[in-house]
Structure 1
């Protein structure tokens, strides 16, 4: 890290309103820690310019590769990612120096006429570009004795909510964290319970990444790290990595802390995989002591992945697509 106090630190970020907002919050925190100015460097990623469905272009990594390339080339000093966009394999030359305190990990429904999911009419058209959401939305609807039609959509928050405002769709599903970060959380008509809709692994969390060789910057950014967030998303991402190796079905996961009174003493990890039409889900959970190390968090994720694969998760590969 250049130590000249007047030399700005360069923060690489995607150009979307959401990315700029969450990067701006991190920039303010880094300024406070380092006393250095921080400038945002806008970078266009493949995922931003491609109009293909994310599942078709291999959604993992399409929003982060350009940012990582800029880091390696020295064009930016650090970058901010939505953690759920990061591949589970970490490049040796880069390090996630901080995972700040996680936002709300839930999925949010934005529906016409202020409807909740349970109030949606039979046959409602619901927009989402996520196979994970698609599978669980169909299963949730079936549990309520109705059916929905899921419609593949892409675009920023304005575009997606616009499909509802224009009457093309009855509802869309977005990450609650994203709505909150751009000050539009009040537009959600329903926050979907994680009992019915497990989020993407790492959803609601950010990753602050820099060169592993820049020890000074790694240490400075590390002050933003939230240990509980890191433990939770590590377990979720290890689960994802293990399931990706043996199962191509959509994956949802959430690790949360369990308290006995005011004492946090356990972590529960829940995971789900399923067919796109939601007719078959493998959903399990495991509970253990709050991980005190990366290895302990990894062990929790691997344990649950092994149980899910043993219960038939691998057998869902490619089944009953819509």
Structure 2
């Protein structure tokens, strides 16, 4: 498997945020919501998405789960009035129960196209976290050293990580959200194995569309490894002109084609939450600065591959 999505933090500005005087969400009984739609699968050119709605009217909440390559990690969005929050960003607490533990993931608040409140997780998650799994969403530090040894070890470990089994997916029957929802939520998803199996078929087909050898990638001895610190590939100065002062934010998911020499041959935007100017800024910066060690097949020979990541433009 190639790269694993990891967010590169770009710009942090201190903001005075309002806090609610209500009782902590963890002390309140969860709002249980039954499904109000079937799972819907969306096959896109560079991504796969499943979505489902729960509850009705003002209590309706929609889950969107996105994957951009084969594997267990995914991106999550929650849309609906029950997830409205006064904070512009923070830490979400959620789990796929009863098999998974509570996980903390950073998020930012947004609005869907119809102005419905939403929260968008800034990093990837899994139904069951890998023990000692690196927290990639906060790992990219522009002030860190250029030694890529830790990055290399982490990515190889993830490539060889224990996969979540269909039985474990079937055992996950609800999504519990403790924060930042004003009232805790329990979305009764039912067993997730069939929905995630359909998504796996979709992500396997992605590689074929990209011209990637699926069989060789199933037995890589080494995935694509960045040279140096990826946190210095997209910098605060790459923020599109005027967007920072206007407070505009974005998450840009991208894919770089990496040839057998470790050179970037193409940049593709897989999904983007924000103005298209951010997409251009990301690819322009990466084509100038990104450098890699190529992926190696099972015999240790370099082969063409790819690297996925996400950039958070965050004011």
Same fold (TM over 0.5): no
- Higher helix proportion, which one? 1
Instruction: Give the TM-score normalised by structure 1.
Output: 0.27
Greater strand fraction, Structure 1 or Structure 2: 2
Per the normalisation by structure 2, the TM-score is 0.28
Higher relative contact order (CA 8 A, sep 6+): 2
